Structure 1
């Protein structure tokens, strides 16, 4: 069962893994290696990531107890992050997050 809920403290590392692995495994098809490395570097500033993800306050998709995606929409309609787990693409998760 797919559940959509609001971001909770403690989601940060799981969302970072989804962000990183989706870019490295899915988006690599549309961007150069240099762009992907800049977008999702191996090393990152963990406190800055926590601050950023908390600030965008995303919705989180959970499928059978596993976090499988997240997306935000800001008050002005801007979407900063919209990522679905690379192994769960094409299962309606993105549609549910819309």
Structure 2
């Protein structure tokens, strides 16, 4: 597995991983209605452009295995992890940990003292294993549907 910076031509694979992961991995913690509100397929063309712009401005890394992107994550200048998604066939193989560890190293280089994220119910245990702790539970609204997530923070050493 190679970790590398995001390139514009990665966007199609990245958006595909997002939809696949939400609708397959997160289904154990969210209802079908919530999954559709979170990742509606009809918004894919809009997401391609919006995410390409956002990922280009953030610190974005992809996990690449023989030319196939198997995961990605990004962080803004303030140390907020915006997205972390791993292909459903590559879960529990160290992909997510490698991506977050890379972002944490980037945050340290920037002189940041902490990082934060808004983790799904599904991702919360993963972030807790990496030393993040819950600040608060939130309900975010997507297309009029409430989804529970957790504001989490980690102090960098």
Normalising by structure 1, we get a TM-score of 0.89
SS in 1 for 2:85: strand
SS in 2 for 1:10: helix
Find out whether 1:60 has 2:62 as its counterpart.
Answer: yes
User: Quick check: 76-85 or 57-66, which moved more?
Assistant: 57-66
Task: List runs of 5+ in structure 1 lacking aligned partners.
Answer: none
Number of positions where the alignment pairs a residue of Structure 1 with one of Structure 2 = 97
CA deviation string 1:36-82 (max 9, x = no partner)? 00111121152443232331332111023211000001111111110
1:30 aligned partner? 29
Rg larger in 1 or in 2? 2
User: Quick check: 45-54 or 11-20, which moved more?
Assistant: 45-54
1:69 aligned partner? 71
CA deviation string 1:2-54 (max 9, x = no partner)? 11111101111110110000001101111111110011112115244323233
Runs (4+) of structure 1 exceeding 3 A deviation are none
Find out whether 1:79 has 2:78 as its counterpart.
Answer: no
In structure 2, C-alpha distance between the alignment counterparts of 1:65 and 1:47, rounded to whole Å: 25
1:84-95 correspondence runs (5 A): 84-95=86-97
1:97 aligned partner? 99
Task: List runs of 5+ in structure 2 lacking aligned partners.
Answer: 101-157
**Structure showing the higher strand proportion among its residues:** 2
1:8 aligned partner? 7
Structure with bigger RCO (C-alpha 8 Å, 6+ apart): 1
